[in-house]
Amino acid sequence: MDVTTTIHQRRACRSFDHFRITQDLIVDLSHHAQLAPSRFSNQSWQFVFVYDTKTINELYEALSSGNAWAKDASMIIVVHCKKTDDCVIHDRKYFLFDSGLATAFLILRATELGLVVHPIAGFSPTKTREILNIPEDHEVITLVIVGKHASIIKSVLSEKQSRDEQSRPPRYPLTDFISYNRYGHRNHDG
């Protein structure tokens, strides 16, 4: 799959079938994540791959109620990083930016492998940190829910989630978020 196809293929789906997680998969995803650019090559990203039944069941307790669908995950990837592992210039937090880039690389590779890879913000970082023993000075940024896409829509999904499962939520038009040459210039010809 080329990059364009992979980007179009990626969807934040919420209905999963279980599949077996192998070390090869984890190493493969990690190799792709580590090729992301980072400021001064600081590589601030860190991941905990959670897939053993006991730990993943514990981690389900950290999910917000709207993310109950994620309990069908075969793996949850916890993205965390330490502020001092990359720089913060005034209020520009590159430790977060660089970890986000690495997570995007990981998501695209997993998509290419035919998986659903869904980042979420609806979880408790405090509970996640406690369950996994992540140090206090690390920010737990996101959980990435990994599964095989189910052919049916699971009943745990809300009405909106079911709609989103079937078609991608609309995007803002380009004119809302791109400028040509100067901020606010919405046309190529000035």
| Binding footprint of ligand FMN on the chain (CB under 6 A) | 11-12, 67, 119-122, 142, 164, 168-169
- How far is 87 from 83, CA to CA, in rounded Å? 7
- How far is 64 from 66, CA to CA, in rounded Å? 5
36 alpha carbon, distance to own chain's centre: 14
Nearer to ligand FMN, 119 or 132 (CB): 119
Nearer to ligand FMN, 4 or 23 (CB): 4
Nearer to ligand FMN, 59 or 120 (CB): 120
Nearer to ligand FMN, 56 or 119 (CB): 119
Residue for token pair 């994540």 = 33
Nearer to ligand FMN, 135 or 169 (CB): 169
Minimum separation from the CB atom of position 23 to ligand FMN (A): 27
Minimum separation from the CB atom of position 116 to ligand FMN (A): 10
Residue type, 38: S
Q: Taking a C-beta distance cutoff of 8 angstroms, is the pair 74, 51 a contact?
A: yes
- How far is 168 from 165, CA to CA, in rounded Å? 7
The DSSP symbol for 8 reads H
Minimum separation from the CB atom of position 128 to ligand FMN (A): 13
Minimum separation from the CB atom of position 133 to ligand FMN (A): 23
Minimum separation from the CB atom of position 190 to ligand FMN (A): 32
- How far is 55 from 62, CA to CA, in rounded Å? 11
Comparing every residue's Cβ against ligand FMN, the nearest one is 122
The DSSP symbol for 109 reads H
Phi/psi for 147 (5° steps) reads: -160, 175
Nearer to ligand FMN, 11 or 148 (CB): 11
Minimum separation from the CB atom of position 142 to ligand FMN (A): 5
The b/e string for 32-71 (b: 16+ C-beta within 10 A; e otherwise) is: bbeebebeeeebbbbbbbbbeeeebebbbebbeeebebbb
